[in-house]
Amino acid sequence: MTRLRIDFQDYAELLQLYADYAAALDSGQWDAWPGFFTDPCVYKLQPRENHERGFPLATLAFDSQGMLKDRIYGIQETLFHDPYYQRHVVGAPVVRRVDEDGRLHAEANYAVFRTRLSKESTVFNVGRTIDEVVRTPEGLKFASRLVIYDSEMIPNSLIYPI
């Protein structure tokens, strides 16, 4: 049986998880990113059209903290790109379901703005996340995060996590 309501404390912790996640990415704390997930976990970045049609093709797909750490290693050590800042604006999560074991199924809209050092800020990516969040001894963590972006096109390449 599932329920839809959660208590205020649990919702406040969920809001904090979303806020901390965005703040870590916006401040370039790449090493903190895998710690927002359980192990194993799912992180996928997928165009909306593929998601809505049930197509499995994703731009990025990871299924463990180790794979997330490999991505961070690539960002820090091997990828060469024109550096930029990103800023996440994340809507309040909507809890869609709470399982008997306490697993939260939530969604939130997001917009990511990108600022290159010598240029104006632009909208980089817009969409929603479909998340499964679980309680761990360290607090709430993402067991699954599906990032569904609205546009079929991403300008240039996707370097940093959304």
Here the tokens at position 18 are 């979303």
Four-residue CA torsion sign, 15, 96, 105, 112? negative
pLDDT band at 5 (very low <50, low <70, confident <90, very high): confident
Q: Which stretch of 75-79, 86-90, 132-136, 144-148 has the lowest confidence by average pLDDT?
A: 75-79
CA distance linking residue 54 with residue 36, whole number of Å: 26
Q: Residue 11 burial by CB count (10 A; 0-12/13-18/19+): exposed, middle or buried?
A: middle
**Do 104 and 98 touch, CB atoms closer than 8 A?**
yes
101-134 pLDDT tens trace: 999 999 999 999 999 888 999 999 999 999 999 9
150 phi, psi to nearest 5 deg: -75, -40
134-155 pLDDT tens trace: 999 999 999 999 999 998 777 6
- The pLDDT assigned to 118 comes to 86
Residue range 10-35: mean pLDDT, rounded: 97
CA distance to 13, 14, 20, 119, per residue, from 134 (Å): 11, 10, 16, 40
Here the tokens at position 64 are 């463990």
Look up the pTM and report it.
Answer: 0.93
- The pLDDT assigned to 78 comes to 76
pLDDT band at 1 (very low <50, low <70, confident <90, very high): very low
**Do 118 and 142 touch, CB atoms closer than 8 A?**
no
Cis check for the bond before 40: say yes or no (omega within 30 of 0): yes
